[in-house]
Structure 1
Amino acid sequence: MKPGPKNLITDVPGLLVGNASDALLKSGSTVLLAAEPLTASVHVMGGAPGTRETDLLAPDKSVAKIDALVLSGGSAFGLDACSGVVDGLRAEGRGFALGPALIPLVPGAILFDLLNGGDKGWDDNPYRALGRAAFEAASDDFALGSHGAGTGALTAMLKGGLGSASFVLESGVTVGALVAANPMGSVTTPGDRHFWAAPFEVDGEFGGVGPDSAVGLGRNLESRKMQSMRALAAGEELPAERGNTTIAIVATDADLSKAECQRIATAAHDGIGRATVPAHAPGDGDLVFAASTNARQLANPEAELAHIGHAAALCLSRAIARAVYSATPEDTDLLPCWSNHPI
């Protein structure tokens, strides 16, 4: 398998991604759209998720297709970004038709970036407008790093961000990942030079420094993020496991059912575990959506489903590392970027 031409989730034909950010807020939203409704499901492995309409995505629920997926900053406030996307879809006449009613279906997930140095003193929730702006910006090309839902993201040691990656399988199936990386854990080994995901890197896509040669790694859970957040909270004690989350979408053009999408979402969580240490903590909201455009029939669905899940996990690991690698410094940042941290 090889990366697609853009090495983005939009290498899956028909997919578009839009970002919107507010520099003062140090937050933003990201939307995934398609020309036609998507088959989708979800799997949650974090202990503190924040979601909208994810129950619809269970295989036993009657909704067959959804119109968009949203990733957003803003914690519970950020769920309103989905409303902005709903507004945009309705204005274009898209949604589930029930008699004269038209109802766009837009599941979403949020990460916590309320204590990252941005101005959170709003009077009116800004995320509905950010969701609409992300919808209007949707394109097959989009920025990584400090953009969209990754604008204010932080890892344990470095600034987080928005990442993406893709693979085209030998069968011709395309698989891609999109992630907003804001985990409790670290994305780099001690010293901040090497990415945990380094064994899966392709063509130097996140620096090409290779794997860490040290052994016995993973026992140090130091977190600059928690130190900085506690300082920002004026000394108030904060639970060490709060204020995190890695939220992601994996997508493919393979023709999959909702149940098969759920299996791909489950497999893709391996990508979070390989790229973030630790992962899936009680205070993380780690969640993966899986979506299919249903454009490509599979010759051997059972065998190919395993390959698609494996590719999704690899893409997600690479996307997490690319998110941190691509982050750029801004005023009032709490943490350094990988690109400017002394290494």
Structure 2
Amino acid sequence: MLNLLTDIEGVAVGHATDLVLGSGVTAIIFDEPAIASGSVLGGAPGGRDTVLLDPSMTVQTVDAFVLSGGSAFGLDAAGGVQAGLRQIGRGFPVGSAKVPIVPQAILMDLLNGGDKHWGLHSPYRDMGYDAFKAAGKGAFALGTVGAGTGASTATVKGGIGSASAMTSSGHRIAALLAVNAMGAATVGDGPHFWAAPFEQNGEFGGLGLPQAFTEDHAALRMKGVKLKATTIGVIVTDAFLTKAQAHRLSIMAHDGLARAVLPTHLPGDGDTIFSAATGAKPLDDMTAFAELCHLATLVTARAIARGVYEATALPVPNAQAAWRDRFDS
């Protein structure tokens, strides 16, 4: 296992990154349609086809998920991924037509110093197509790439993070998050991560928690009140789940977000987590599902910390410093 979302068989990940723009797109492509759901708990979300993920809605499966910068302009990215899927004959059958199902979530990165003067049409549809074409199995980059390119947090640069785990019954589960939080993933003004209790093998520095907590550690730290944020991501398992169970998995992943970022789910956050199950392995009982839910919380928290830990500052004037700029020594 690579400690990445691609540890789930049948899942590919691709990035499109533009450091001048200060933004990007990440595409998560499923080899076969996957049972899917999701939860939106932030107060200022942006998304496409998120309502169909409600367990009461008719469509059960998706062909891909898209995460993108660009705020509402970034919603064009799903069209690019949809075009790529249509090229290869994928999609939900509607009579003689096929419609690729591609839910998307976006984050706000319009004020990070990148060049957003793109003319009449935004670049995100083409970036979505590029991310689709780049999607592959195995290792992929973390940090300032894809949807995490322009991401930030209250204290240091945000980015793309991922983590995976295996249950005692052999089911795999993994998360991928674009960390653009209104709050902070680090404790106070120091290097320690709120997700430290769940860290595996020094994946985000191995520093643990501070020896003691002060009142200042828990003080409110967030971006300017006029800014919008959003941590967006996906949680995927190889277990066979119903759509309702997939929905529960996304809620458990939000628990991981709340353990990795303080505060979270603010009025200015658009926190959205999609969930999917490839169905490769049946679940024995509710105890096995409960363990899967537990690990959904942990891999989400770990992925968020990794996204911040792996990020690098944008190559623009007055860019937000990365964790590595401040604490790598």
* TM-score (norm: length of structure 2): 0.96
Contact kept in structure 1, 2:313 and 2:319, CA below 8 Å: no
Amino acid at match of 2:307: A
What SS is found at the alignment partner of 2:325? coil
- Which residue number in structure 2 is paired with residue 126 of structure 1? 123
Contact kept in structure 1, 2:177 and 2:233, CA below 8 Å: yes
Residue-by-residue CA offset, 1:242-277 (whole Å, 9 max, x unaligned): 320000100000000110000010111111100000
Residue-by-residue CA offset, 1:192-245 (whole Å, 9 max, x unaligned): 31011111100100011111223245532244x53xxxxxxxxxxxxx163200
Contact kept in structure 1, 2:148 and 2:159, CA below 8 Å: yes
Distance 1:54 1:200 in 2: 29
Query: Following TM superposition, by how much is the alpha carbon of 1:330 offset from its aligned partner in structure 2, in angstroms?
Result: 3.1
Counterpart check, 1:113 vs 2:103: no
Structure 1, unmatched stretches of 5+, are: 227-239
- Which residue number in structure 2 is paired with residue 269 of structure 1? 254
Contact kept in structure 1, 2:239 and 2:283, CA below 8 Å: yes
Counterpart check, 1:298 vs 2:287: no
- Which residue number in structure 2 is paired with residue 220 of structure 1? 219
What SS is found at the alignment partner of 2:36? strand
What SS is found at the alignment partner of 2:231? strand
Counterpart check, 1:19 vs 2:19: no
Counterpart check, 1:317 vs 2:301: yes
What SS is found at the alignment partner of 2:118? coil
Counterpart check, 1:88 vs 2:84: yes
Report the count of equivalent residues: 324
- Which residue number in structure 1 is paired with residue 136 of structure 2? 139
Contact kept in structure 1, 2:260 and 2:305, CA below 8 Å: yes
Distance 2:314 2:43 in 1: 30
Counterpart check, 1:57 vs 2:56: no
Counterpart check, 1:289 vs 2:274: yes
Distance 2:111 2:263 in 1: 21
Output aligned runs, 1:173-322, within 5 Å. 173-217=171-215, 218-223=217-222, 225-226=223-224, 240=225, 242-300=227-285, 302-322=286-306
- Which residue number in structure 2 is paired with residue 339 of structure 1? 324
What SS is found at the alignment partner of 2:324? coil
Amino acid at match of 1:255: F
Counterpart check, 1:330 vs 2:314: yes
Counterpart check, 1:155 vs 2:153: yes
- Which residue number in structure 1 is paired with residue 2 of structure 2? 6
Distance 2:53 2:230 in 1: 20
Distance 1:267 1:190 in 2: 25
Contact kept in structure 2, 1:157 and 1:192, CA below 8 Å: no
- Which residue number in structure 2 is paired with residue 232 of structure 1? none
Contact kept in structure 1, 2:69 and 2:148, CA below 8 Å: yes
Structure 2, unmatched stretches of 5+, are: none
Amino acid at match of 1:194: H
Query: Following TM superposition, by how much is the alpha carbon of 1:315 offset from its aligned partner in structure 2, in angstroms?
Result: 0.3
Contact kept in structure 2, 1:242 and 1:284, CA below 8 Å: no
Contact kept in structure 1, 2:22 and 2:115, CA below 8 Å: yes
Residue-by-residue CA offset, 1:100-119 (whole Å, 9 max, x unaligned): 21111100000000000100
CA RMSD of aligned residues (A): 1.2
Distance 1:104 1:87 in 2: 8
Amino acid at match of 2:144: S
Amino acid at match of 1:215: F
Amino acid at match of 2:101: L
